[in-house]
Amino acid sequence: MNHLSRRSLLALAASVPLAASVPPAAAAPAEAASAVVGGARLARDGVQVSGATGLPKKLSARAWMIADGDTGEVLASYRAHRRMAPASTLKMLFALTVLPKFERTDRHKVTAAEIADVPSGSSLVGVRAGFTYTVEQLWQGVFLRSGNDAVHVLAHMNGGLDRTVAEMQTAAGDLLALDTHVASPDGFDHRNQLSSAYDLTLFARKGLEDADFREYCATRTADFPANASGRKTFQIQNTDRLLTGSYGVETYDGLIGVKNGYTSNAGNTFTGAATRDGRTLIVTVLHPTSGYNAVYEETAALLDWGFGKGSSARAVGELVTAASQASPAPARSGAAGASGAAARSGGSSSLPLLEGAAGVVALAAGGAYALRRLRRG
């Protein structure tokens, strides 16, 4: 795996049309792509692992990945770049995009128009027109109850659904989450609403850097307004069963969060992070086929492996650095060094990895924004 310099990225990008001519939904599926963000092994079929044994045997998920949240090393994966419906795990990207826009103490009176476009069958926290909520309460509704009504209110506060979707797509491009195509801010089923285990893990890692994001996703219960004055409340509970220990799922020791989801098309989806002995691991599990609690059980099993036998695993890929945070790689002598070296020594790579002859196409599909940020950097 080779690092591409900033100059190489810009030279390659200059040789192809800008992303506007490459609709993200029309980009080649990652399973068959000749360009791979994070390393070529992440696009291969079958389980990818090196240097460790004992992976859970009964994993039914259609795609999964486990990564070290501190170093960015991908410890093991299965179809990490497979593009699939994400359900409410996409709300992590929504939070990355909108969370910095408003102070948590800001207050907003909801209008009927702001919740009129919530899709039928959505998960709801109980936002009502005419009620005034703090931004903190709305985010609690998003993170704890996965409330699409709270998402739509925040999206309208941000300038509307279309603007928010565009900003989310831009944010995904900056993160080099090239498998992701955003159709709505809430993750609800749409034909072109797509992401991957790799991209969702990127979103979780980035989100956990933010203190508010980290606090919201770790909150188990909160009081939510039950009348217009806010003096009467009802309790809402986080739907993350590994966090709360509900419906027959035991709480996971050291769990931080982050986000679960379900739709009829996506099935059950989950990205979870846990810390033990100063080490943070992030797991994404998409659409397991065995049982309603399988998404949590398989996440817990992968975390157990990562904190145990997976400690000896050698990286099969890495979580890349956002384009806006990239800096030129230091000069190296001799052949290109191992891509995971920086990660294993305690730091993350300074530049994204793109592998394959068609890397330019994938980069373009991610969005011209990332390239503009590289030019300004």
Catalytic residues: 88, 91, 146
Which tokens go with 305? 């492996």
Instruction: Using only the alpha carbons of the chain, give its radius of gyration.
Output: 20
Residue written as token pair 């190489």? 8
- 328: left (phi > 0), else alpha (psi -120 to 50), else beta? beta
DSSP line for 159-183: T-HHHHHHHHHHHHHHTT-TT-B-S
Q: Among the residues of the chain, which ranges form H helices?
A: 6-14, 91-98, 112-115, 135-145, 148-157, 161-174, 197-207, 211-218, 241-244, 294-307, 341-344, 359-366, 368-376
Q: How many CB atoms lie within 10 A of CB 337?
A: 14
Is the bond preceding 36 in cis, omega lying within 30 degrees of 0? no
φ, ψ of residue 269 to 5 degrees: the values are -130, 150
State the Cα–Cα distance between residues 71 and 318, nearest whole angstrom: 8
* 220-244 CB burial, b ≥16 within 10 A, e <16: eebebbeeeebeeeeebebbbbbbb
Angle at 340 between CA 338 and CA 346, to 5 degrees: 130
Beta partners for residue 260, in sequence order: 270
DSSP track, 220-245:
-EEEEE-STTS-SEEEEE---HHHH-
